Amino acid sequence: MTRTLLFFWGITLCVAGTVAGSITGDWSPAPIILLISGVILLILGLWLWGNKYKFWQLRSTQAGAGAIAKTTMVLVLVGLLNWVAIRYDKRWDFTENKLYTLSQQSQVIVSKLEQPLEVIVFDRNPNSEIENLLQNYRRYSEQFQFKFINPEQAIGLAQQFGVQSLGEVYLQYGEKRQKLDTVNSVGEVALTETSLSNGIEKIKRDRPINIYFLQGHGEASLDLVEGGLAQAVKNLEDKGNQVQGLNLASSGKMPDDANLIIIAGATRKLLAAEVSTLQQYLTTGGSLLLLLSPNIDIGITPTLQNWGIELDERLIVDGSGAGSVMGFGPAVAIVNRYGEHPITASFRNGISLFPEARPIKATEKTGIISTPLAITDQQTWAESDLRGEQITFDATTDISGPLNIAIASYREQSTDSRLVVFGSTTFATNGWFEQQLNGDMLLNSISWLVGEDQDLLSIRPKEAANRRIMLSSLQTGIIRWLALRIMPFMALVTGVYLWWQRR
């Protein structure tokens, strides 16, 4: 009788607790206590029943109980691991360029959203890769939202956004609306972290940034040519900057809206009036970026001396031989040591490459704070004689490393002025710009010069490396024969031979 009552009340309490929790949707202590009480009564009833029929003393019962206990332990462990995984979301990304982990810059950009930002993807069906990318952004801010819309069903909304084709992506940030460029670096139509982060940064801007490249003195071209700066210019424009050329000789004055002046690769001296205009611009709170090649004097030495910057005409040579491993000659300085500055704060021991570089030195100057950005190692030197067949270090005429290749300077005054000088132009040109941290070095310098948030000065997202193998029709045929005919046939022959030997 006791066993029957225990089973009855145990089942009743379990059902009551389950129904109460399921219907109300509130698993408060009351339904949980009912469930626990019912389970305890059922276990007690089973124990009394087993004692009466000596069920627990049977060998089969003990073996079964052991199996049940082991299975329960495994299920509890698996459940605990799943709970921990859900409660503490931790991911490991082992891909080459950390494709499934947002870069530090993207994390900062999305975490600093001050109002809701919505990404709208117009397509028939959600794309899993795009959805995973957007979920990655969503992890860093509740202000980030996204949705997929079929333009063939939501015709009115598609017309409102001006959708022309499937796959178009738009950003909505307050009253602002912006279409993203979804063509990646290899010409495919796809939403990438680079395009999305640039789009967010662009739509967040409350003021235009005007960057002028000085022209008329043999500077590097802004076009997509060898030795040009087209890749750097495109990255600046993708971030919402206004990039233009500037000829001071014809304009006669500095533009009123100039946030930054860049002199990149000039090969001829500036006119005295141009140098005076640049000096006045810096005096009144302007920012200047200089990319200077070795053995070239562009006539701004007095201006740099006012900032405590000294240029050396010699060429930096890397005598370690490390460049030969990557296919570079000794004229390419490999840098993995950086100064304590916001521009390079996130670089750690990353590599940047400076071909055809000259050393730069900073001396103390009242009111000016100068910090080396890129520093070579002790196996480099500044070579003064490049005419010999073999380049060797000469202690009487050469300067031994470490050497500074880039320096950032800051002058505190009523309107602060900033100056960054690189002893190389080639590192920022097409092709070299994409090498290692070269692009990050240049873009971070520009961001610091125009006074952007220091948290945004970090390593930018990298796109997937193109690992495709282009095969001819003959090569494709050979692989097909090997995979579908020859290899299976060889496996069959081997199996028959082994069977015959063991027969």
Spell out the domain ranges in the chain: 2-87, 104-199, 207-456, 469-503
% the chain with pLDDT above 90: 40
Q: What is the mean pLDDT of residues 20-33?
A: 71
- Residue 2's pLDDT band (boundaries 50, 70, 90)? low
Kindly write down the DSSP assignment for every residue of 10-73, as one continuous string: HHHHHHHHHHHHHHH----HHHHHHHHHHHHHHHHHHHHHHHHTTGGGSHHHHHHHHHHHHHHH
Token pair in block for residue 407? 């320096």
- Residue 36's pLDDT band (boundaries 50, 70, 90)? confident
Task: Answer yes or no: are the C-beta atoms of 173 and 141 closer than 8 Å.
Answer: no
pLDDT at residue 69 tops 90: no
Specify the pLDDT at position 39.
76
Specify the pLDDT at position 290.
97
pLDDT at residue 456 tops 90: no
- Residue 453's pLDDT band (boundaries 50, 70, 90)? low
Coil, strand or helix: which one is 456? Answer: helix
- Residue 341's pLDDT band (boundaries 50, 70, 90)? very high
Distance CA 132, CA 146 (A): 11
Distance CA 440, CA 434 (A): 9
Specify the pLDDT at position 494.
87
Specify the pLDDT at position 187.
52
Highest mean pLDDT among 140-144, 260-264, 410-414, 487-491: 260-264
Distance CA 99, CA 103 (A): 9
pLDDT at residue 459 tops 80: no
Q: Pick the residue with more confidence: 79 or 429?
A: 429
- Residue 148's pLDDT band (boundaries 50, 70, 90)? very high
Q: What is the mean pLDDT of residues 149-171?
A: 90
Q: Which amino acid appears at position 75 of this protein?
A: L
Q: What is the mean pLDDT of residues 11-25?
A: 72
pLDDT at residue 265 tops 70: yes
Nearest alpha-carbon partner for 426 in 245, 236, 229: 229
Specify the pLDDT at position 26.
66
% the chain with pLDDT above 70: 82
CATH architecture of 207-456: 3-Layer(aba) Sandwich (3.40)
Q: What is the mean pLDDT of residues 260-278?
A: 94
Question: What's the pLDDT tens digit per position in 187-206?
Answer: 556 788 888 988 898 888 77
- Mean pLDDT of all residues in the chain? 83
pLDDT at residue 183 tops 80: no
Specify the pLDDT at position 61.
55
Coil, strand or helix: which one is 194? Answer: helix
- Residue 218's pLDDT band (boundaries 50, 70, 90)? very high
pTM of the complete model: 0.71
Span of 167-176, 289-298, 432-441, 485-494 with lowest mean pLDDT:
485-494
Specify the pLDDT at position 48.
62
- Residue 465's pLDDT band (boundaries 50, 70, 90)? low
pLDDT at residue 461 tops 80: no
CATH class of segment(s) 104-199 = alpha beta
Question: What's the pLDDT tens digit per position in 248-257?
Answer: 988 878 999 9
Q: Do domains 104-199 and 207-456 have the same CATH topology?
A: no
Q: What is the mean pLDDT of residues 168-189?
A: 78
Q: Where are the beta strands (DSSP E) in 93-230?
A: 117-122, 144-149, 168-173, 176-179, 209-214
Q: Pick the residue with more confidence: 262 or 465?
A: 262
